[in-house]
């Protein structure tokens, strides 16, 4: 039997866990499940248990585009088949075009010898599938619970809960969102910028089929994406300046559908119907560091990016994979999983990759924000050249897929 597993019961009796994960969203739950399945004694702490996904309910407005790297992780964790069978929409193509110069770039899974580029799935479905697997994997769920304090001891990190209880672990993982209270407790700062935009989300029915294609148009005010749903509708994410977003949210359904049709250049024909709409603020935020002492950050606690590339949760799942692999390698080599060089290895690798991606998305948004005629023309020339340069375009596609 693996030494880490055989010692699990003694560690539990002594009250010392290998890993305590704070935050039970998609990334936090995946972290707890991945580390438990790797043989670490693990607890998941959250303020509440998520409401279970309901197949009979309307499709959740919050959806995510899962890249192949994320699907691979979820499959390794034993939850992907249930997610796909429940309600996941595969897309095989992506079309991105510029409203100012018409320059277009296409991505097709067939060019990579793959069946799909990714899947559009409700956040709540992914989270529910992960939570349902926690008990079987042996994850200790501490819910409801709120972390009110953090302290470093010689051989452990100690979390104080609001009810006065304590949880001790060799490593603590902060996966408690972009506003991460735990990140603040340990004094890790952030940098970034407010885009002064909001992302409007809704599900719409269009006159033309979405063709299992993700469509994205770059407009002067921000990108507009149509993501294919399994029921034939599209989930839209429309990034708009604050004032314009407020105006669009106040429209009645008929006016909204007309405005959305114009914004999309009627690529999928007239917008025939829409659900209720919601909006969320857009911000670039990167943690100054990903580790301190026995604590590491991942997911939105470490990085929040613009949704234009649809990579936010995929970056988070790549954090999960890297952390699991680094800790398993350390354990198997007989090293302390909480040793500073071990946690720094994870932090160095993921902070470098996440920062590069986040700043690339930010730069892309800035480039598409250019309005001067010479710059618009230059942007169009660049996109058309990229469309014709097969190897470079395939490299970009593989990077986005996490391959």
CATH of domain 3-51+126-191+284-365: 3.50.50.60
User: Tell me, what's the pLDDT at 329?
Assistant: 98
For the segment 332-353, the average pLDDT, to the nearest whole number, is: 96
User: Tell me, what's the pLDDT at 331?
Assistant: 98
290: Cβ contacts below 8 Å, ≥ 6 apart: 296, 297, 298, 302, 346, 347, 350, 351
Copy the structure tokens of residue 290: 């990903």
Residue 138: CA count within 13 A, CB half-sphere: 16
In the three-class reduction of DSSP (H, G, I as helix; E, B as strand; rest coil), residue 214 is classed as: strand
CATH class entry, domain 63-124+194-282+370-401:
alpha beta
For the segment 135-141, the average pLDDT, to the nearest whole number, is: 97
Q: Phi, psi (5° rounding) for residue 270?
A: -60, 150
Confidence at 395, pLDDT banded by 50, 70, 90: low
CB 93 within 8 A of CB 214: yes
CB 288 within 8 A of CB 191: yes
CA angle 264, 316, 308 (to 5 degrees): 15
CA angle 90, 268, 210 (to 5 degrees): 15
Copy the structure tokens of residue 89: 């929409």
Q: Element (H or E) spanning 333, and its range?
A: none
What percent of the chain lies above the pLDDT cut of 70? 92
Q: Cα separation of 137 and 44, whole Å?
A: 12
Taking the CA atoms of residue 151, residue 157, residue 162 and residue 163 in that order, the dihedral angle to the nearest 10 degrees is -120
For the segment 242-268, the average pLDDT, to the nearest whole number, is: 97
> What's the gap between Cα 196 and its chain centre?
21
pTM (predicted TM-score): 0.90
Name which of 33-47, 169-183, 357-371, 378-392 the model is least confident about.
Answer: 378-392
Confidence at 7, pLDDT banded by 50, 70, 90: very low
CB 48 within 8 A of CB 144: yes
For the chain, the C-alpha Rg in angstroms (whole number) is: 22
Widest Cα–Cα separation across the chain: 69
For the segment 17-32, the average pLDDT, to the nearest whole number, is: 98
Greater model confidence, 364 or 4: 364
Confidence at 310, pLDDT banded by 50, 70, 90: low
Which tens digits make up the pLDDT trace of 280-302?
999 999 999 999 999 999 999 99
* DSSP E strand stretches across 242-322: 271-274, 278-287, 291-292, 295-297, 303-304
Q: Cα separation of 377 and 380, whole Å?
A: 5
Confidence at 136, pLDDT banded by 50, 70, 90: very high
First to last CA, the chain: 33
Domain ranges (residues) in the chain: 3-51+126-191+284-365, 63-124+194-282+370-401
């Amino acid at each position: 039997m693996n030494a880490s597993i055989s010692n699990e019961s003694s560690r539990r009796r002594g009250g010392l866990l290998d890993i305590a994960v704070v935050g039970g969203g998609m990334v936090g739950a995946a972290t707890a499940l991945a580390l438990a399945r790797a043989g670490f004694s693990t607890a998941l702490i959250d303020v509440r248990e998520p409401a279970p996904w309901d197949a009979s309910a309307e499709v959740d407005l919050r959806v995510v585009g899962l890249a192949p790297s994320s699907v691979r992780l979820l499959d390794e964790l034993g939850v992907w088949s249930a997610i796909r069978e429940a309600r996941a929409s595969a897309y095989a193509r992506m079309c991105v075009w510029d409203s100012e110069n018409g320059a277009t770039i296409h991505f097709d899974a067939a060019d990579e010898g793959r069946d799909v580029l990714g899947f559009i799935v409700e956040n709540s479905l992914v989270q529910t599938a992960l939570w349902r697997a926690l008990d079987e994997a042996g994850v200790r769920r501490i819910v409801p619970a709120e972390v009110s304090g953090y302290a470093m001891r010689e051989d452990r990190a100690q979390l104080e809960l609001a009810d006065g209880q304590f949880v001790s672990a060799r490593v603590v993982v902060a996966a408690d969102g972009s506003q991460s209270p735990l990140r603040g407790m340990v004094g890790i700062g952030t940098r970034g910028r407010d885009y002064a935009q909001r992302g409007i989300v809704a599900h719409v029915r269009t006159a033309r089929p979405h063709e299992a294609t993700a469509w994205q148009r770059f407009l002067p005010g921000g990108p507009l994406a149509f993501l294919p749903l399994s029921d034939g509708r599209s989930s839209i994410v429309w990034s708009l300046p604050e004032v314009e977003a407020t105006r669009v949210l106040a429209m009645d359904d008929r006016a909204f559908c007309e405005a959305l049709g114009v914004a999309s250049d009627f690529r999928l024909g007239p917008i025939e119907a829409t659900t209720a709409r919601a909006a969320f603020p857009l911000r670039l935020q990167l943690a100054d560091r990903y580790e301190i002492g026995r604590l590491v950050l991942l997911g939105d606690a470490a990085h929040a990016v613009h949704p234009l590339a649809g990579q936010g949760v995929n970056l988070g799942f790549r954090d999960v994979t890297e952390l699991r692999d680094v800790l398993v390698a350390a354990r198997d080599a007989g090293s302390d999983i909480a040793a500073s060089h071990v946690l720094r290895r994870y932090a160095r690798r993921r902070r470098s990759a996440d920062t590069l991606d986040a700043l690339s998305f930010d730069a892309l948004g800035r480039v598409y924000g250019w309005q001067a005629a010479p710059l618009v023309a230059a942007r169009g020339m660049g996109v058309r050249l990229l469309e014709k340069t097969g190897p470079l375009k395939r490299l970009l596609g593989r990077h986005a897929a996490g391959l």
